């Protein structure tokens, strides 16, 4: 039953799981590597997807509905404005959102403000556009989501019934990237969705390349899939396959003879049907058969004998753009600037390949690949600036406006494709791989994205550098104006003025896959340093100086890095690395805060050995951290989440009732260790309020198929007592929500006012204790350790700051027993805590 996935998997499997993740890669290859890390495989196939979805639906709610009223909200970008100070100042680019796979226009409108425009993003779902006139020729433009309950993770093509409002069909998967879960159908404008079985033998095709309702007989739907041409005669409820079992990538209908259809196989074979798809014949032509992997089709809306085929070869480069004037029986090769057609597909032709004829002037033809071409005579083509690379969809509405969908979003043209506007490019569909939010000002953040380079936010809004594909980014925790971003080439850039200007840092990882992470210490007297890793080494920047902190390179490629909190008097934090290695004993490396040496093996005792891991430190407790197991191996049932109280020396299983779902990240609540939030790879969020015993879905307000790349916790306890989550996603931009602590508290200091909260925490070091303060101002305090007979055995002065501060108390030379820890503030007020010293 899995034969129908082989075509796309051929492309995907060329990159070894994990092993190529840190080599210089570009475009779709990077996205495939990311998915392999979190899924552990090329795709989440339909059977497994249904199993995971059913297991999540079966979870019993363990808290009341008031928590369900807390909604995730879009934080942006939607879109990001292009910063022309850094790259290409003369570029026409205005803004960027995320990759658009398909476009529909003149759709049945929901209300008076609906424009009838719909876009299908790669991983963000379906969006519509509304426009409200405010006078003076100005208007307000907004997007609205029609697919928050759509289970499909990646999407490729969609169709809207021409007359029945709310009837939508969506095909899943994405060419060159991953297989999908087949076809989905909605009859209520996306409120609910049902998975549709297509052909008897190929129920859920890996890819659905093209799909549309027949404009003359709208109960008929045509689709080309990775398993051939399929047809429905009942509005998409049931299907039959009418063609050979080949990857059918192109599909067009003759507007002058509606029963005539053409299909193009990925191998370059052209097919024709004269009875609306019931019977098909091969067209004998001079196209380069069996040299192609993807073929896009277009037909002239005036002269039906004119056909165009844009083909990429087996290396995914341009094979040629071909024109026929005799209904495909013979073709001539089109030219570029009067010469041979150069490579326009950039080794990713199965991913971006489209051709279209203008209905305004049929002598004008467009061809989209990595680049974008336009011809005014149908045969010779010139490059046109489409505002962004990687073209996927071209359509015209009934008024003659052209819509172009590419990796930067949606752009429109009213002059037949010469110039473009980003007016309607307002979708929250940016695909983030990694990002970091500043604790000093959570309005400042930076991240690395697919297609749109470094994307960042400051108090003025969202911006993008558009420097290719980004890999990672962060904003400094203490100095929000300091931002960082890295790209596929290993280039690191930084800004010292909140993103207005950017400079290039020393090339410590040039030519390598690079990630950056700002240390997350609660100390502001000395700014936190920046960490970076590439391949098998970690580097640390203090000031402007970089140093390598892995004297001996890791045994395998580093896949992930996180850093714990540290005290105001310490120079080190715990650093956790996830390592790609065949031997599970080497898959976690830790540099603990009590030294400079790395523990590179033996950190996985008690963990399943058929998966990889990521570790997420507690927001402030030095040696408390949580570990998630990636992918969905056989061991995943009952082995998904673990906790350590000693910096990874031992692990406790806190999986509880969590299903075997692919996880990506975890956050712990700073006010209550029992409240945990995990992000998944295509199934949204899960939350526990009892320390991991039971888990519940937590997708209110966001898409159920969200790929969560990471979560940052914003702790505003000292200011207003609130905690927020900011999550960055692969396709839904940044989203945020309030994260209340509405249950029984697990630490007693929250009974006091926020200005004087103090907590004593055991650490992994013998005789060493962490004192955590939540305070409202900077001041000098005195800390006394008092024995049971009233003797002060230790006293120390420290400075605490507004927000959170952490002090180390060393009682390693003191006798075991009961102590009172007393804090004296500058106004002579005191706070005391009991401490049982027995470690």
Region 627-633: what's the mean pLDDT?
95
Residue 145's Cα: distance from chain center in Å? 17
Count of CB atoms situated within 10 Å of the CB of 233:
17
Going edge to edge, which strands form the sheet with 183-186?
Answer: 155-160, 168-172, 183-186, 194-196
Residues present in the chain in total: 839
Residue indicated by tokens 């890793």 = 533
For 738, half-sphere exposure in the C-beta direction (CA atoms, 13 angstrom radius) is 13
**Element (H or E) spanning 712, and its range?**
strand 708-716
- What's 822's DSSP letter? E
CA distance 24 to 723: 38
Give the pLDDT band of residue 747 (cuts 50, 70, 90): very low
What's the angle, vertex CA 369, arms to CA 368 and CA 370, rounded to 5?
125
Residue indicated by tokens 């080949």 = 246
What's the angle, vertex CA 659, arms to CA 658 and CA 660, rounded to 5?
120
Residue indicated by tokens 């994307």 = 455
3-class DSSP assignment, residue 68:
helix
Bridge partners, 641 (sequence order): 628
Residue indicated by tokens 């896949």 = 559
1 CB-near residues (< 8 Å, 6+ apart): none
User: Mean pLDDT for the chain?
Assistant: 90
Give the pLDDT band of residue 719 (cuts 50, 70, 90): confident
Check: CB of residue 331 under 8 Å from CB of residue 287. yes
Note the pLDDT of residue 223: 98
Note the pLDDT of residue 7: 36
Note the pLDDT of residue 28: 77
Establish whether the linkage from the previous residue to 753 is cis, with ω within 30° of 0.
Answer: no
What's the angle, vertex CA 459, arms to CA 455 and CA 465, rounded to 5?
20
Note the pLDDT of residue 15: 30
Establish whether the linkage from the previous residue to 79 is cis, with ω within 30° of 0.
Answer: yes
827 CB-near residues (< 8 Å, 6+ apart): none
Least confident window among 290-304, 422-436, 751-765, 814-828: 751-765
The DSSP result for 720-774, as a single string, is HSEEEEEEEEBSS-EEEEE----S--S-GGGGS-GGGEEEEEE-SSTTEEEEEEE
3-class DSSP assignment, residue 50:
helix
CA distance 660 to 51: 9
CA distance 808 to 793: 15
Check: CB of residue 129 under 8 Å from CB of residue 121. no
Give the residue among 282, 369, 359, 383 at the shortest CA–CA distance from 320: 369
Region 394-410: what's the mean pLDDT?
97
Give the residue among 777, 773, 779 at the shortest CA–CA distance from 833: 773
Give the pLDDT band of residue 723 (cuts 50, 70, 90): very high
Bridge partners, 231 (sequence order): 222, 240
Note the pLDDT of residue 522: 56
Regarding predicted confidence, which is higher, 425 or 63?
A: 425
What's the angle, vertex CA 553, arms to CA 552 and CA 557, rounded to 5?
160
Give the pLDDT band of residue 13 (cuts 50, 70, 90): very low
Least confident window among 605-614, 650-659, 737-746: 737-746
147 CB-near residues (< 8 Å, 6+ apart): 125, 126, 170, 190, 193, 703
Note the pLDDT of residue 102: 99
Q: Which two tokens stand for residue 227?
A: 């398993």
Count of CB atoms situated within 10 Å of the CB of 750:
17
Check: CB of residue 574 under 8 Å from CB of residue 565. no
Residue 519's Cα: distance from chain center in Å? 22
Regarding predicted confidence, which is higher, 378 or 530?
A: 378
Rounded to whole angstroms, what are the CA distances from 811 to 332, 763, 816, 817?
85, 12, 9, 11
pLDDT digits (tens, 9 = 90+) for 546-581: 999 999 999 999 999 999 988 776 668 999 999 999
pLDDT digits (tens, 9 = 90+) for 235-271: 999 999 998 889 999 999 999 999 999 999 988 999 9
Count of CB atoms situated within 10 Å of the CB of 544:
8
3-class DSSP assignment, residue 803:
strand
CA distance 262 to 343: 26
Check: CB of residue 515 under 8 Å from CB of residue 486. yes
Q: Kind of pairing, strands 685-688 and 676-680? A: antiparallel
pLDDT digits (tens, 9 = 90+) for 378-396: 999 999 988 899 999 999 9
CA distance 145 to 706: 13
Domains of the chain in start order, with CATH, are: 249-384 (2.130.10.10), 580-660 (no CATH), 754-837 (2.60.40.3080)
Region 583-611: what's the mean pLDDT?
93
Give the residue among 263, 340, 342, 248 at the shortest CA–CA distance from 294: 248
Q: Which two tokens stand for residue 640?
A: 């998904």
Note the pLDDT of residue 94: 81
Least confident window among 270-279, 480-489, 754-763: 754-763
Residue 8 has pLDDT above 80, yes or no: no
**Checking phi first, is residue 137 left (phi over 0); if not, alpha (psi -120 to 50) or beta?**
left
Give the pLDDT band of residue 770 (cuts 50, 70, 90): very high
CA distance 707 to 712: 15
Note the pLDDT of residue 488: 84
3-class DSSP assignment, residue 531:
strand
Q: Which percentage of the chain shows pLDDT scores above 70?
A: 92
Region 216-241: what's the mean pLDDT?
97
Region 140-157: what's the mean pLDDT?
97
839 CB-near residues (< 8 Å, 6+ apart): 762, 766, 767
Least confident window among 101-115, 355-369, 569-583: 569-583
* Alpha helix positions (H), 340-450: none
Note the pLDDT of residue 10: 34
pLDDT digits (tens, 9 = 90+) for 289-311: 888 999 999 999 999 999 999 99
- What's 3's DSSP letter? G
Count of CB atoms situated within 10 Å of the CB of 687:
22
Note the pLDDT of residue 333: 98
Give the pLDDT band of residue 529 (cuts 50, 70, 90): confident
pLDDT digits (tens, 9 = 90+) for 361-371: 999 999 999 99
């Amino acid at each position: 039953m899995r034969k129908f996935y082989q075509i796309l998997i051929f492309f995907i499997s060329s990159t070894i799981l994990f092993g190529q993740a840190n080599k210089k890669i570009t475009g779709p290859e990077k996205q495939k590597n990311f998915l392999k890390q979190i899924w552990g495989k090329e795709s989440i196939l339909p059977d497994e997807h249904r199993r995971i979805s059913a297991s999540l639906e079966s979870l019993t709610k363990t808290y009341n509905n008031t928590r369900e009223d807390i909604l995730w909200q879009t934080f942006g970008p939607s879109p990001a404005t292009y910063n022309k100070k850094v790259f290409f100042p003369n570029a026409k680019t205005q803004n960027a959102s995320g990759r658009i796979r398909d476009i529909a226009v003149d759709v049945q409108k929901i209300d008076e403000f609906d424009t009838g425009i719909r876009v299908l993003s790669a991983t963000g779902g379906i969006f519509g556009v509304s426009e409200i006139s405010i006078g003076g020729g100005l208007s307000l433009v907004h997007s609205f989501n029609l697919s928050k309950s759509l289970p499909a993770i990646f999407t490729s093509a969609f169709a809207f019934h021409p007359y029945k409002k709310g009837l939508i069909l969506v095909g899943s998967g994405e060419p060159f990237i991953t297989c999908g879960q087949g076809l989905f159908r909605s009859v209520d404008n996306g409120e609910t969705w049902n998975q549709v079985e297509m052909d008897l033998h190929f129920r859920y095709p890996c890819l659905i390349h093209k799909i549309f309702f027949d404009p003359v007989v709208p109960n008929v739907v045509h689709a080309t899939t990775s398993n051939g041409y399929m047809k429905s005669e009942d509005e998409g409820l049931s299907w039959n396959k009418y063609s050979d079992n080949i990857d059918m990538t192109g599909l067009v209908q003759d507007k002058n003879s509606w029963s005539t259809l053409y299909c193009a196989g990925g191998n370059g074979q052209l097919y024709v049907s004269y009875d609306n798809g019931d019977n098909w014949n091969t067209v004998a032509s001079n196209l380069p058969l069996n040299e192609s992997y993807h073929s896009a089709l277009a037909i002239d809306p005036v002269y039906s004998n004119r056909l165009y085929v844009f083909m990429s070869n087996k290396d995914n480069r341009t094979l040629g753009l071909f024109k026929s004037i005799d209904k495909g029986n013979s073709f001539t090769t089109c030219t570029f600037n009067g010469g041979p057609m150069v490579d326009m597909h950039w080794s990713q032709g199965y991913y971006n390949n489209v051709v279209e004829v203008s209905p305004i002037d049929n002598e004008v033809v467009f061809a989209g690949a990595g680049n974008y071409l336009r011809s005014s005579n149908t045969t010779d083509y010139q490059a046109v600036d489409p505002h962004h690379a990687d073209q996927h969809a071209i359509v015209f509405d009934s008024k003659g406006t052209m819509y172009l969908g590419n990796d930067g979003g949606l752009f429109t043209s009213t002059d037949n494709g010469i110039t473009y506007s980003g007016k309607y490019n307002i979708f929250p569909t940016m695909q983030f791989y990694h990002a970091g939010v500043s604790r000093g000002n959570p309005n400042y953040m930076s991240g690395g994205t697919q297609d749109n380079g470094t994307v960042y936010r400051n108090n003025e809004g969202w911006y993008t550098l558009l420097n290719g594909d980004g890999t990672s980014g962060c904003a400094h925790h203490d100095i929000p104006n300091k931002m960082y971003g890295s790209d596929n080439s290993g280039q690191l850039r930084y800004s010292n003025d909140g993103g207005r200007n950017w400079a290039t840092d020393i090339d410590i990882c040039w030519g390598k896959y690079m990630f950056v992470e700002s240390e997350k210490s609660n100390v502001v007297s000395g700014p936190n340093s920046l960490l970076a890793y590439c391949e098998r080494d970690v580097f640390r920047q203090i000031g402007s100086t970089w140093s390598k902190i892995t004297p001996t390179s890791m045994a395998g490629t580093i896949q992930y890095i996180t850093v714990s909190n540290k005290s105001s008097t310490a120079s080190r934090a715990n650093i956790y690395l996830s390592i790609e290695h065949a031997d599970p004993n080497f898959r976690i490396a830790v540099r603990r805060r009590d030294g400079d040496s790395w523990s590179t093996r033996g950190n996985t005792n008690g963990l399943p050995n058929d998966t990889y891991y990521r570790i997420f430190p507690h927001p402030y407790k030095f040696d408390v951290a949580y570990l998630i197991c990636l992918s969905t191996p056989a061991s995943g049932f009952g082995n998904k989440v673990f906790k350590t109280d000693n910096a990874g020396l031992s692990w406790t299983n806190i999986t509880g009732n969590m299903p075997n779902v692919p996880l990506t990240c975890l956050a712990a609540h700073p006010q209550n260790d029992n409240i945990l939030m995990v992000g998944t790879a295509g199934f949204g969020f899960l939350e526990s309020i009892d320390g991991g015993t039971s888990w519940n879905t937590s997708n209110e307000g966001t898409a159920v198929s969200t790929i969560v790349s990471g979560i940052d916790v914003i702790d505003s306890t000292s200011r207003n007592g609130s905690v927020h989550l900011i999550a960055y996603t692969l396709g839904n931009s940044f989203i945020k929500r309030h994260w209340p602590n509405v249950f029984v508290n697990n630490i007693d200091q929250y009974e006091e006012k926020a200005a004087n909260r103090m907590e004593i925490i055991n650490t992994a070091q013998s005789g060493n204790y962490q004192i955590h303060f939540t305070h409202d101002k900077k001041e000098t305090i005195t800390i006394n350790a008092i024995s049971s007979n009233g003797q002060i055995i230790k006293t120390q002065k420290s400075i605490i700051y507004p927000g959170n501060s952490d002090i180390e108390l060393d009682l390693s030379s003191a006798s075991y027993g009961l102590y009172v820890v007393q804090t004296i503030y500058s106004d002579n007020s005191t706070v005391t805590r009991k401490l049982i010293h027995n470690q």
